[in-house]
Amino acid sequence: MAITDTTASTSGYDQTLKNLGITRSGTAATPNVSTTGTKTTLDQTDFLALMTAQMKNQDPFAPVDNTQMVAQMAQFSQVAGVSEMNKTLSGIATRLGATSSSDAMAYVGRTVLTAGNTAYERSAGGIAGAVELGADATDVNVSIADNSGKVVRTLQLGTQKAGTATYDWDGTDAAGNKVESGPYNVTVEASNKSSIVSATSLVWAPVESVSLPTNGTPSLNVTGLGTVDPSAIRKVA
């Protein structure tokens, strides 16, 4: 009967583990991921390398159980299949969430509500907009300045819940006098008693055109606001 050098076998197995960035604790048969290695996960190639090393260095008096080995291979194959499926589904979700050229072109000639501070007077006079609040607020103020920077009207929206608070300005000052046409500069402030609340100004503006880069996501060219990503649009009119 041939005698197997178990020391050499163990050394060969340990060398295989070392090549995979894995160390064994003491004499335990279960490998642990090394904290000093570069790998944190094992892939299919690593699994096959470990299985081959295990078969080459197995104890001839206690060989690996074929049933257990086949079951382990089946489980690994199933996990690998699920991983590949997740990658495929992630790619599909990304593609569905992206804005296509035709989707972007549909914005041309439309008026959109998006983050910005420059607002143009509408045909009926005045402007409409909104304030996006990060939390509940007890005081929300919207200041509207003319193109010279002079504040012509301050709207007090009072107490508002977190979310979007809308406003509509008729184009007159506090005394009811007609204000010179825009563009207007809009600034917003919000607080909850003595605490400042995050507030973003949203304005309505027309989409002039669409930029369609060869590689990349289409972008909208919005009057007074410049380039806007389609994902930043809150509403369309």
Contacts of 112 (CB under 8 A, 6+ apart): 204, 205, 206, 207, 220, 222, 228, 233, 234, 235, 236, 237
Lowest mean per-residue pLDDT among 76-90, 93-107, 167-181, 191-205: 93-107
Cis preceding linkage at 206, omega within 30: no
pLDDT digits (tens, 9 = 90+) for 155-194: 999 999 999 999 999 999 989 999 988 899 999 999 999 9
Task: Name the strand (E) or helix (H) holding 186.
Answer: strand 184-192
pLDDT digits (tens, 9 = 90+) for 208-219: 999 888 777 889
Q: Domains of the chain by range and CATH?
A: 6-96 (no CATH), 107-236 (2.60.40.4070)
Read off the pLDDT of each residue in 196-217 and give the average, rounded to a whole number. Answer: 90
Question: What per-residue confidence (pLDDT) applies to 172?
Answer: 93
Residue 18: band (very low, low, confident or very high) from pLDDT cuts 50, 70, 90: low
pTM over 0.85: no
